Amino acid sequence: MSRRTRHSILPNRSTTSKYEQSDRFARLANQNYEDILRKCTAKNILFEDPEFPATDATLFYTKKPPRPFVWKRPKVTALQGSYEALKGGQTSEAMVDFTGGVTETFDLKKAPKDLFNIMRKACSKGSLMGCSIGAKPSEIEAKQSNGLVKGHAYSVTAVREVDIQTQRLRQKIPMVRVRNPWGNEREWTGRWSDKSSEWALVSDKEKEELGLTFEDDGEFWMMFEDFVSNFERLEICNLGVDSQGSEGARSWESRQESGAWVRGCSAGGCRNFPISFHTNPQYRMTLTDPDDEDDEDTCGIVIALMQKNRRNMKKEGKQNLTIGFSIYKLEDPNTGPLDREYFNYHASTARSPSFINSREIIGRFKLPPGSYVVVPSTFNPNLEADFLLRIFTEKPFDSRPVTSPYARDKNSECSNG
């Protein structure tokens, strides 16, 4: 991953020797991936190598925070073997592995109407954003006439409206700042590129606020419409309150719940199986305040359902299960576990984009304030797995498991009764 992440110095923690680092890796290597990520994030030790200093050329190295800090190499390089093993790959996987966040992927050819607002809010909350242009194997790293490179991972470093003024009008232009991690002269050459005539329409004060520089540093501005027209894929990694985000950014409100689908107990399958669907784990969430600057008075929400420990199971020949989730509106917020009769007569308010055999399925929704129940499930019943359900919102909210005789852990004995 091209971004180097900043972490504050841990109190009373001295530099570890190479022997200690190797010993720690040996102990971590025998744990499953999710345990490593959770423990490292909780203890703030995901980045451990003090021999990896940042310089002025480092991506996102803009200014030092008031407190002391160090830049450290992600320990994931040890798990992968080397930096060479980290070359290429999916930007989304890198962002999740480095931060523990939730990554949404947008096809810019089918961009939602409110994408600029989504990006602007994500930027204000310290989310990480990456973009790219698809490429055939023979086109990887091929430079186009507009200066952009195919099959290359770019970072989005700012999203804002820029004031422009002419003799006839004054208006705000939606703009996106993009960074080529190579940090060289390979930059966008279209409208609003470095030294283009359009910048004469922007005041010196506005330029200063933008931190505008015209250097061969790989960073450039684009009009939002040019961004959507020329890039094909956008990935946004949303960071919760426990993640390491940008300094000064107000993070997303987030909650997470761990659960399990247990055969004959809480593995009811999807709505295609009405006899057992109600036995799936259920989680109530209460949304109280609509988002700021939302004309529809709705609450933006991102829900991510991840099946845990499946990477390790691949060694045993086990593949990802097909998973998804449904959301139901509650008329009475104090309603207990929803039963078979309820699901027979009530349609879901929203659902995951699909049921898919992926490590994680993610959906973004706009819901009116109120109480809802989220039902995560496998597509077919009686398939066992542990899962992690994560919910992200702009405003504070409440979520908790719904007490159910069916949703018990794997160590319990239960039946559908």
Count of other CB atoms within 10 angstroms of residue 250: 11
The β-bridge partners of 235 are: 105, 130
CA distance 228 to 296: 25
- Residue for token digits 């023979």? 138
Q: With beta carbons less than 8 A apart as the criterion, state whether 307 and 32 touch.
A: no
Q: Which region, left, alpha or beta, applies to residue 218 given φ > 0 means left and ψ of -120 to 50 means alpha? A: left
CA distance 38 to 33: 9
The two tokens of residue 48 are: 């451990």
Average pLDDT over residues 358-366: 92
Report in angstroms the alpha-carbon separations of 120 from 60, 82, 174. Answer: 17, 35, 10
Domains of the chain (ranges; CATH) run: 16-87 (no CATH), 104-237 (3.90.70.10), 252-401 (2.60.120.380)
Q: Which of 32, 180, 238, 344 is catalytic?
A: 180
Q: Is the pLDDT of residue 141 over 50?
A: yes
CA distance 330 to 283: 12
Q: Is the pLDDT of residue 10 over 50?
A: no
pLDDT digits (tens, 9 = 90+) for 82-108: 444 444 456 666 667 677 788 999 999
Instruction: Provide, rounded to the nearest whole percent, the portion of the chain with pLDDT above 90.
Output: 49
State pTM to two decimals: 0.72
Q: With beta carbons less than 8 A apart as the criterion, state whether 2 and 181 touch.
A: yes
Instruction: Please report the pLDDT score of residue 184 as a whole number.
Output: 77
For the question of residue 152 being annotated catalytic, the response is yes
Q: Which of 30, 32, 146, 152 is catalytic?
A: 152
Lowest mean pLDDT of 74-78, 93-97, 111-115, 221-225, name the range: 74-78
pLDDT digits (tens, 9 = 90+) for 268-322: 999 999 999 999 999 999 999 999 887 889 999 999 999 987 666 666 777 899 9
- Cα 260 to chain centroid distance, Å, stands at 23
CA distance 131 to 229: 12
pLDDT digits (tens, 9 = 90+) for 318-355: 789 999 999 999 988 888 899 999 999 999 999 999 99
CA distance 159 to 142: 26
